[in-house]
Amino acid sequence: MKNYIKSLLILGLVASCNTNASKETVLEEAEKPVEGIVYEEYQGEEPTKPEETEIYEPVPPRVTLSKRGIPSDAIVLFDGSSLDNWISTLDSTAAKWTINDDNSMTVANKTGDIQTKQNFGSVQLHIEWRSPAEVQGENQSRGNSGIFLNNLYEVQVLDNNDNPTYVNGQVASIYKQHIPLAMASSETGDWNVYDIIYHAPEFNDDGAKIKSGTLTVIHNGVLVQDHVEIKGTTPYIGWPKNPAHGRGPLRLQDHGDNSRVSYRNIWVREL
């Protein structure tokens, strides 16, 4: 028994020595100068006190949430009360979509897209949408709508449940450019949430694109577009185009085939 305990003690000592040795190796590795990206703000003499690497300005602005979860610095574009912030894309008259009793609105078929009166550049957008519970049509003709950032770049809205289509045009695709990383739709007839981060492209004075725009899309809490590069416009037919542009409206699509898609709780934060 004594020998058994002695063996255990020796084994423990060896194990502990090995752990210490590996810790030292890790520390030595971490302290080695790393070749690669050099951050100029972290050059110079190595700080010796914590205060030397602590900064106090600028102080981030305080943002609070309303009872409905809307950030205090957001611009509310639709809360169910009216379509006053929107116009018809066809003729710039009042938007003709239907406002419902549950604070949502529904595409009025063949009345055309609607767009915000206000123009935006880069934004964080929150928008909720629902395909009708009563299924009609298939492929791209089932609950098809879309959200056009800057009036040009479509994040697809589609009822894809048991309804396959080309994957670069499925729900949450950047239409005909980026396949979503996952299909995260709610049951048909239930509400979906998109949280979208859009960074606008940049153009030089000659109208040439010098920096691509990007899109990040979170669908019902699932990351489905991860800071993807916008290659240009998102047409049904043809390649992406890159017309120079500044700020533009946010536009919602009337696909023209009785999609009956509804939207609610739309707000943006300008970036």
Q: For residue 195, what are the β-bridge partners?
A: 126, 218
Provide CB contacts within 8 A for 268, sequence distance 6+.
74, 75, 77, 120, 123, 124, 125, 126, 250
CA dihedral over 117, 121, 125, 128, signed as positive or negative:
positive
Task: Please state, as a whole number, how many other Cβ atoms lie within 10 Å of the Cβ of residue 171.
Answer: 25
Q: How far apart are CA 95 and CA 84, in angstroms?
A: 8
- The distance of closest approach from Cβ of residue 146 to Mg ion in the complex, given in angstroms and rounded to an integer, is 3
146 binds Mg ion (CB under 5 A): yes
Q: How far apart are CA 83 and CA 65, in angstroms?
A: 23
Q: How far is CA 107 from CA 24, 156, 179, 225, in A?
A: 65, 15, 25, 25
- The distance of closest approach from Cβ of residue 244 to Mg ion in the complex, given in angstroms and rounded to an integer, is 25
Q: Round to the nearest angstrom and report the end-to-end CA distance of the chain.
A: 71
Identity of the residue, 231 or 255, whose beta carbon is nearer to Mg ion in the bound complex: 255
Residue type at position 216:
T
- The distance of closest approach from Cβ of residue 54 to Mg ion in the complex, given in angstroms and rounded to an integer, is 49
Query: What residues from 29 to 58 belong to the interface with Mg ion (CB under 5 A)?
Result: none
Only one residue has tokens 């390649």, namely: 239
Q: How far apart are CA 32 and CA 246, in angstroms?
A: 46
Identity of the residue, 146 or 180, whose beta carbon is nearer to Mg ion in the bound complex: 146
Q: How far apart are CA 149 and CA 35, in angstroms?
A: 40
Identity of the residue, 146 or 201, whose beta carbon is nearer to Mg ion in the bound complex: 146
Identity of the residue, 253 or 265, whose beta carbon is nearer to Mg ion in the bound complex: 253
Give the nearest residue (CB) to Mg ion.
146
Identity of the residue, 120 or 153, whose beta carbon is nearer to Mg ion in the bound complex: 153
58 φ/ψ angles, rounded to the nearest 5 degrees: -75, 145
- The distance of closest approach from Cβ of residue 251 to Mg ion in the complex, given in angstroms and rounded to an integer, is 11
Using the contact rule CB under 5 A, the part of the chain among 25-33, 47-55, 107-115, 142-150 near Mg ion is 142-150
Query: What residues from 223 to 252 belong to the interface with Mg ion (CB under 5 A)?
Result: none
Using the contact rule CB under 5 A, the part of the chain among 7-15, 83-91, 144-152, 260-268 near Mg ion is 144-152
Using the contact rule CB under 5 A, the part of the chain among 31-39, 82-90, 141-149, 191-199 near Mg ion is 141-149
- The distance of closest approach from Cβ of residue 194 to Mg ion in the complex, given in angstroms and rounded to an integer, is 13
Q: How many residues sit close enough to Mg ion to count as binding (CB under 5 A)?
A: 3
- The distance of closest approach from Cβ of residue 205 to Mg ion in the complex, given in angstroms and rounded to an integer, is 33
Provide CB contacts within 8 A for 93, sequence distance 6+.
87
Q: How far apart are CA 154 and CA 165, in angstroms?
A: 17
Identity of the residue, 85 or 253, whose beta carbon is nearer to Mg ion in the bound complex: 253
180 binds Mg ion (CB under 5 A): no
201 binds Mg ion (CB under 5 A): no
Query: What residues from 87 to 106 belong to the interface with Mg ion (CB under 5 A)?
Result: none
Closest to 217 in 3D by CA, of 259, 261, 170: 170
Using the contact rule CB under 5 A, the part of the chain among 19-27, 86-94, 112-120, 146-154 near Mg ion is 146-154
Residue ranges that bind Mg ion, judged by CB under 5 A: 144, 146, 253
